[in-house]
Amino acid sequence: MDKEAANHKINAVVLLSGGLDSATALAWAVREKGWQCTTLAFDYGQRHRIEIEASAVIAGFYGIKDHRVIAVDLPVIGGSALTSNMDVPKDGADKSDIPVTYVPARNLVFLSLAAGLAETVQAEKIVIGANVVDYSGYPDCRAEFLNAFAKTALLGTKSGVEGSGLEVVAPLITLDKSEIIAMGLKLGVDYSLTRSCYDPDDQGMPCEHCDSCRFRQDGFAALGKKDPLLP
């Protein structure tokens, strides 16, 4: 546990999607930083709903006492393959700068809800698993955006007016997938509990062909490790 946390208890809200990145970010917040964490998952009409259950299981694995799921009806907004009937591109078929799996303003919405929760649980940190791989295609994973968000949230919340701080912490922001997995393995993350696939089958097993599956496979392969989710 680091010195800051040893001196006074630090509360954090951790965005926990149930995927590989957010599980690693949670492990870092709990084991490396010693923060008291409230985990937050979203039921946003995603086709990979299995991640919602995965997030609860991962929260349990880390002894989190306060895990919440907020339903937010993003399909009303549309515009994404993850929340509509559009096909999820396979085997790298999507060559656009911003992939069709981008969900309009998703992290903005998720961070806003996290900022509201941070206020009620008196957390001064919001932890998000955004990283360099996502960053390359999703505008809402850029450090620049995350910093601007924290400032805006302070202006728009009671905590900000009353002088408490709010920091958006992205411990994985500069790491690629294999570096994230290496960090997680050191911290004892059980990756068999995590779900990454955008388009799982009825049993929740990964398609192995969407971008999210491919980045995950490449990450484990680069370390010469086997993904515990795969047969």
Binding pattern to a copy of itself, positions 102-141, x when CB under 8 A? Answer: xxxxxxxx-xxx-xxx-xx------------------xx-
The residues in 160-199 that bind a copy of itself, with binding defined as CB under 8 A, are 160-161
Segment contacting a copy of itself (CB under 8 A): 47-55, 148-156, 175-183, 197-205? Answer: 148-156
Measured at the alpha carbon of residue 8, what is the angle toward residues 7 and 9, in degrees to the nearest 5?
135
Give start and end residues of each alpha helix (H) in 168-210: 177-186
Cβ 118 to a copy of itself, closest distance in Å?
A: 8
Among residues 48, 142, 195, 209, the one that binds a copy of itself under rule CB under 8 A:
142
The residues in 17-56 that bind a copy of itself, with binding defined as CB under 8 A, are none
Which residue, 30 or 111, is less far from a copy of itself as judged by CB? 111
Which residue, 58 or 114, is less far from a copy of itself as judged by CB? 114
Among residues 156, 165, 188, 228, the one that binds a copy of itself under rule CB under 8 A:
156
**CA–CA separation, 214 vs 79, rounded Å?**
23
Among residues 1, 6, 93, 98, the one that binds a copy of itself under rule CB under 8 A:
98
Q: Contacts for 28-31 with beta carbons within 8 Å, 24 or more apart?
A: 28/127, 28/171, 28/172, 28/183, 28/187, 29/125, 29/127, 29/169, 29/171, 30/62, 30/63, 30/64, 31/187, 31/188
Q: Which residues of 140-161 are buried (b: 16+ CB within 10 A; e: fewer)?
A: bbbeebbeebbeebbeebebbe
Strand, helix or coil for residue 41: strand
- Residues at the site binding a copy of itself, with contacts judged by CB under 8 A: 68-74, 76-79, 97-98, 102-109, 111-113, 115-117, 119-120, 139-140, 142, 144-145, 148-149, 151-153, 155-158, 160-161
